[in-house]
Structure 1
Amino acid sequence: MRISFKTELKLNNRERTQLAKHAGVARHAWNWGLDLCQKILNYNRENPDDKLRFPSAIDLHKFLVKWVKAENPWYYEVSKTSPQYALRHLSSAFSDFFRKKMANGRRVGFPRFKKKGQHDSFTLQGTIKIKHRSIQLPKLGILKTYERLPQGLAPKTAVVSRTADRWFVAFSYEIEPNPTVKMLTAVGVDLGIKTLATLSTGETFPNPQPYRKSQARLARLQKAASRKVKGSKNRHKANMKVAKQHARTANIRKDTLNKLTTHLAKSHSQVVIEDLNVSGLMANHCLAKSIADLGMYEFRRQLTYKCELYGSELITVNRFFPSSKTCSGCGHIQDMSLKERVFNCQQCNASIDRDLNAAINLRNQALILA
């Protein structure tokens, strides 16, 4: 199977400048290509009898070399693959939009223009050598890292991205699945708001709620940034503090989900989860913020590849299965409001925590669906 490895780069000022130049060229190529595609679409809309062929990634690159590079010599200061991959990604974005592809439960929208300092990234292709604590990239040379890198790899491409003031490099490689010895068989996992996850074994994982706990500090930083003069260095510093706080919030969420999904995939041979309608849950304005803070899509994404990596089976139960309304003892189904946290069965008089009851019902589905 193919997995990705991402790590932070240890850079000096010269190297940071070079990375910023690569990201700037990739952003310029993307925005130029998007502007050209928009003009072609508008022309075809106004002239249905004389339509122009929509350009592919190869066409865009030919136009870029002919029209843009000749007028902007700073394109030659960076690797040629940086703008090439930007145009490839733009072409893929248009393909997903035209095919009405779904991502994260939502339809992919029309490509947008990129802004400096927001989601800066670029892709490099060529001779990439991985050493003990450094990586050699085309045009950039050897860049140090803070941690050891996996050895014996020769990736063809690498993605360099920036989050706040930190630069990261990511590459993918093939790895053989490594099944682990499982202590337990099937386990049901019920995601919640107050408790991140409740397992059918009775084990619970607390929800760190990183965004809610950082709201007060984030509000102060954003208010301070809005008071600074636009375009000033102080405003840039204040915006960087806001970006760092957002990055810290995201890192706490990712770390929590990584530990949870690794524990589930390594310790159980079957992991049963519910196919939740995240988009529908987000429509509830009272719970949208808390649901978004859980990172449900990231949880399922990590659990999917980790179950394959560690030799576990991931079972997904239909979203219409009444896991919270069914008694795990006798199977009686009854209505329950969201505020009721204890399931009191009206038939067998059993009393059990609502989330634990749902997790047990999900675990029992593993025997039915097997």
Structure 2
Amino acid sequence: ISILTEYEKEIESKEIEKVVGLDFAMDGLFVDSEGEKANHPKFYRQMLEKLAKEQRKLSRKKKGSSNWNKQRIQVAKIQEKVANQRQNFLHHKSKNLSANYDAVVIEDLDMKGMSQALKFGKSVADNGWGMFTSFLQYKLKEQGKQLIKIDKWFPSTKTCSNCGSVQEIKLSERTYQCTCGLSLHRDYNSALNIKKEGIRLLASI
């Protein structure tokens, strides 16, 4: 048997019992349908502040000078450290989810479009959502589990996860309140809706 066919052996699909929905969060990666936040670690945030400071120093030096070169190397070292820390964090989070759930449901987001439209370029890039979802996809696939992507236009934020009614909610409103009596953090409410929609899609496959 060739190495390729050995590696590509059939992975049995796992029966789906445990499902979780993830709502993308700009400041902390995601909030899940259990109400848990991913919470980017503080050391990573501190590193980003340090990086910004060193980049400002670099911009004040004469391009091509020996001091500029020294500072450029300093900035590159911090950038590498930030990238490694981000990658480790995303690996850890995706590993936990793929170990604990049979299916993970996310929105099929256009990150490039979001960063341009909302002028969030830096924070979207720093968040690492794209890298996180690709880690998640292959980790789930290896175990015969599934990553379900729901339509990006699905109104997860506007829908009440309790009664299903849809209402407008401003970006500044952090709590979703419905006439049915539901009062929840908006991201948690969204994650519950994402999970429900994922279960509906799974049932129709």
Task: Give the TM-score taking structure 1 as reference length.
Answer: 0.48
CA contact (8 A) 1:210 1:293 kept: no
Equivalent residue runs for 1:23-42 within 5 Å: none
Q: Which of 1 and 2 has greater Rg?
A: 1
In angstroms, what is the RMSD of aligned CA positions?
A: 3.0
**Which of the pair has the greater relative contact order for Cα pairs under 8 Å at 6+ separation?**
2
What is the DSSP-based 3-state SS (H/G/I as helix, E as strand, rest coil) of the residue aligned with 1:204?
A: coil
Matched, 1:343 2:169: no
Residue in 2 that maps onto 1:194: 27
What is the number of equivalent residue pairs in this alignment?
Answer: 198
Bigger strand share: 1
C-alpha distance in 2, partners of 1:184/1:195? Answer: 27
What is the DSSP-based 3-state SS (H/G/I as helix, E as strand, rest coil) of the residue aligned with 2:69?
A: helix
Within the candidate set 67, 77, 81, 1:248 is matched to: 81
CA contact (8 A) 2:103 2:148 kept: yes
Residue in 2 that maps onto 1:14: none
CA contact (8 A) 1:182 1:266 kept: no
What is the DSSP-based 3-state SS (H/G/I as helix, E as strand, rest coil) of the residue aligned with 2:83?
A: helix
Within the candidate set 135, 138, 150, 1:317 is matched to: 150
C-alpha distance in 1, partners of 2:150/2:52? Answer: 39
Residue in 1 that maps onto 2:122: 289
Equivalent residue runs for 1:42-81 within 5 Å: none
Equivalent residue runs for 1:2-17 within 5 Å: none
How far did residue 231 of structure 1 move?
Answer: 5.5
What is the DSSP-based 3-state SS (H/G/I as helix, E as strand, rest coil) of the residue aligned with 1:352?
A: strand
Matched, 1:367 2:199: yes
Within the candidate set 56, 64, 67, 1:230 is matched to: 64
Within the candidate set 162, 166, 191, 1:329 is matched to: 162
How far did residue 240 of structure 1 move?
Answer: 1.3
* Structure 1: gaps of 5 or more residues: 1-153, 155-172
CA contact (8 A) 1:210 1:253 kept: no
What is the DSSP-based 3-state SS (H/G/I as helix, E as strand, rest coil) of the residue aligned with 2:147?
A: strand
C-alpha distance in 2, partners of 1:301/1:366? Answer: 18
* Structure 2: gaps of 5 or more residues: none
CA contact (8 A) 1:209 1:294 kept: no
